Amino acid sequence: MNSRRRVAITGIGMVTPLGHDAPTTWAGLLAGRSGLGPIRGFDAEGFPVRIGGEVRDFKPEDVISNRRLLKYASRPAGFALVAAEEAMRDAGLRPNALDGHRWGLSVGAGMLGVAFSELETVHRHCVADGEFHPDGFLDSQFPVDPVAFCRSQTNAGLGLLAQHFGIRGYATAVHTACASGGQALGTALKVMRRGHADFMLAGGFDSMLNPVGISGFCLLGALSTDNDTPHQASRPFDKTRNGFVLGEGAGFLVLEEWASAQARGARIYAELAGDGNSLSSYRITDSHPSGDGPIQAMQQAMQDAGIGLEDVDYVNAHGTSTQMNDRSECAALRAVFGSHIQRVAVSSTKSCMGHLIAAAGAVEAGVCALAIRDGIAPVNANLVEPDPECGVNLVRGQSRPLQIRATLSNSLGFGGSNSCLVLRHPDEVMAPSGRGRFPLGKATA
């Protein structure tokens, strides 16, 4: 193995449709419980899709005491602050005046920077006569809300997190649609390996559960219309699947230089060991049927981690529950793993949470870390009739006890961005001989 800095995951935080913290979310996933239901955040009666994975009864002020900070936080930025706060407390770490410059921040940002309520305000003032008048924005009578303007910026969440925690080092916001959270974590890994930070707060947050988000995905024909059975609407890899279910939330991890984590006796969930990325030059909404782009991302991630095909025990699949995505991803998995694919457990936790878009990859990486810790692969819920064209070893019926040495976490985004992360069991890294109870091989891709 090479001498690159190793990166430990020492803190996990989540806000999801299953709960407002990581333990509640994890328990829901293991039980196969659904967080999907009728949309309550706005009147969706006129839409063909009226279901989603909402974060219910969310009150960020229960966790974040700085009311001034929350004034500038949009709903998804509130998710980010709460999830990141949980991750910091879980790690037992916090930047201070002496080391804040050695902390970095890498954030997967959401797709929509303006809340629908703010668009309604524009509508009321600029379309009074039934016509749109752009000049209305320049009218001195047009009400200007500086707080709303600040909330609408795509880097607003990044700024709020930096301010809340006193992070003064490397900072970036990644916006690659569904791959954002995964690529934000991969960016954090590279920053730490280069020695530009000793600690990173990394993750993603998003909410597309609003009339603009729902209508856009409806026009693409990407969403399930099973409004009467929301709990079963997200069924990745099932033959009867008919689209994904939009969700919302946030996931953050605290990443720490390995020697630092060992020295302070920190609990290490897993090593963030590998990162792979590619761009599918095919269609803006689909992966190539052969899985070409995801193949490259998975091969790169395993090579980066220094592991072989036989070392991967679990894949948390992107698995959105659309016909094209699921088949393309499975084609990629079969191409990468060959005959070994039937010994790799595969599941999509979007079956319980829906698709959290920019937050998905970060939440699912946290899920992989918890799967390693507890030795269990979460169930692919709602899988009744597996699609014979998928042909992978799906975790069905109930979560599966499994000794997990390494996992892949796939995030395949609209626009063709593909992210794959490798997480490894900490025992293999911490063994004094360099070979732990889970000895790993070499990458073969």
| Residue in 288, 318, 352, 368 annotated catalytic | 318
Compute the chain's Rg from CA coordinates. 21
Q: How far apart are CA 172 and CA 108, in angstroms?
A: 9
Q: How far apart are CA 422 and CA 365, in angstroms?
A: 9
Q: How far apart are CA 339 and CA 341, in angstroms?
A: 5
Sorted by sequence, the CB contacts under 8 Å of residue 344 that are 6+ apart come out as: 312, 313, 314, 315, 333, 337, 392, 393
Report the run of H or E that residue 328 belongs to, with start and end. helix 323-337
∠ CA(277), CA(280), CA(284), 5° rounding?
120
| Residue in 178, 330, 368, 420 annotated catalytic | 178
20 is catalytic: no
Q: How far apart are CA 57 and CA 38, in angstroms?
A: 14
318 is catalytic: yes
Under DSSP, the state recorded for 340 is: G
Q: How far apart are CA 139 and CA 278, in angstroms?
A: 46
Under DSSP, the state recorded for 5 is: P
Q: How far is CA 387 from CA 214, 323, 324, 346, in A?
A: 27, 9, 12, 14
- The 3-state DSSP class for residue 249 equals strand
178 is catalytic: yes
- The 3-state DSSP class for residue 440 equals coil
Q: How far apart are CA 300 and CA 276, in angstroms?
A: 5
Q: How far apart are CA 374 and CA 26, in angstroms?
A: 11
Q: How far is CA 25 from CA 140, 170, 283, 293, in A?
A: 48, 30, 33, 30
Report the run of H or E that residue 316 belongs to, with start and end. strand 312-316
Sorted by sequence, the CB contacts under 8 Å of residue 286 that are 6+ apart come out as: 324, 325, 328
| Residue in 164, 175, 288, 355 annotated catalytic | 355
Under DSSP, the state recorded for 378 is: P
Q: How far is CA 62 from CA 58, 70, 79, 120, in A?
A: 9, 11, 12, 28
Catalytic residue numbers read: 178, 318, 355
